[in-house]
Amino acid sequence: MFYYEASRSPHCLINNNVETDCIQSNYYSTAMSAEEKKTIAYIVACISEFARATGLSTQEAFRYLNNHGGIDFLIDFYDVEHTLSFDEAVDDLKAVAQKAGGLIA
């Protein structure tokens, strides 16, 4: 079983008390930009709205969207999607997921 141990150097995976992979990454050590924070907040809100609209839990909604391209869609098209209403964004997420084999209409 792998887990992260905070007392070790950043991003070390531990397997039975043996360091198996230690990766130093500048990505994780840099602060998030204001735009990245806005994008994440928007994605979280869209997941919550999708969950509400479909009767799923937020965890189920995240898994569904992640497995059917919805999260990637929100990241790739944030600049357009965030200008729409949440109802329109949820409709777009349903369409994207259906094209990827999702069954929620």
pLDDT at 32 (0 to 100): 87
- Mean pLDDT for 14-38 is 61
- Return the C-alpha torsion angle 46, 50, 52, 56, nearest 10: -130
E strand or H helix at 4: strand 2-4
Per-residue pLDDT tens over the stretch 69-85? 999 999 999 999 999 99
- Return the C-alpha torsion angle 46, 52, 53, 54, nearest 10: 110
Contact between residue 93 and residue 46 where contact means Cβ atoms under 8 Å apart: yes
Residue 54's nearest CA partner among 102, 97, 105, 100 is 105
pLDDT at 47 (0 to 100): 98
Q: What is the mean pLDDT of the chain?
A: 81
- Mean pLDDT for 35-60 is 96
